[in-house]
Amino acid sequence: MTKYTDQGKKDTRSGFGAGMTELGRTNPNVVALCADLVGSLKIETFIDENPERFFQVGIAEANMMGIAAGLTIGGKIPFATTFANFATGRVYDQIRQSIAYSHKNVKICASHAGVTLGEDGATHQILEDIGLMKMLPGMTVINPCDFNQTKAATIAIAEHHGPVYLRFGRPKVANFTPVDQEFEIGKAVLLNEGTDVTIVATGHLVWEALLAAENLENQGISCEIINIHTIKPLDEKAILDSIGKTGCIVTAEEHNFLGGLGESVARTLALHQPTPQEFVATQDTFGESGTPDQLMEKYGLNNKAIEAAVLKVLKRK
Residues binding other proteins (CB under 8 A): 31, 52-53, 55, 57-58, 60, 62-76, 78, 93-94, 96-98, 101-104
Query: Closest distance between other proteins and the C-beta of residue 317, in Å?
Result: 45
Q: Count of CB atoms within 10 A of residue 20's CB?
A: 29
Strand ranges for the chain from DSSP E = 10-11, 30-34, 54-56, 77-83, 107-111, 140-142, 164-167, 172-173, 189-192, 197-201, 223-227, 230-232, 249-256, 277-282
Assess whether 61 carries a catalytic annotation: yes
30: helix, strand or coil = strand
Minimum Å distance from CB 78 to other proteins?
A: 7
How near is the Cβ of 122 to other proteins at its closest, in Å?
Answer: 24
The candidate with the shortest Cα–Cα distance to 305, out of 222, 197, 226, 211, is 211
- Cβ proximity to other proteins: between 93 and 159 the closer is 93
Nearer to other proteins, 9 or 101 (CB): 101
Query: Which is closer to other proteins, CB of 47 or CB of 115?
Result: 47
Residue with smaller CB distance to other proteins, 73 or 271: 73
Among residues 44, 49, 61, 297, which one is catalytic?
61
Task: Give 101-150 as a 3 state SS string.
Answer: HCCCCCEEEEECCCHHHCCCCCCCCCCCHHHHHHCCCCCEEECCCCHHHH
Instruction: Tell me which DSSP letter residue 98 carries.
Output: I
Q: Measured from the CB atom, is 103 or 187 closer to other proteins?
A: 103
Question: Are 213 and 152 spatial neighbours (Cβ–Cβ below 8 Å)?
Answer: no
Q: How far is the CB of 37 from other proteins (least distance, A)?
A: 16
CB of 264: closest distance to other proteins in angstroms? 24
The set of catalytic residues is: 61
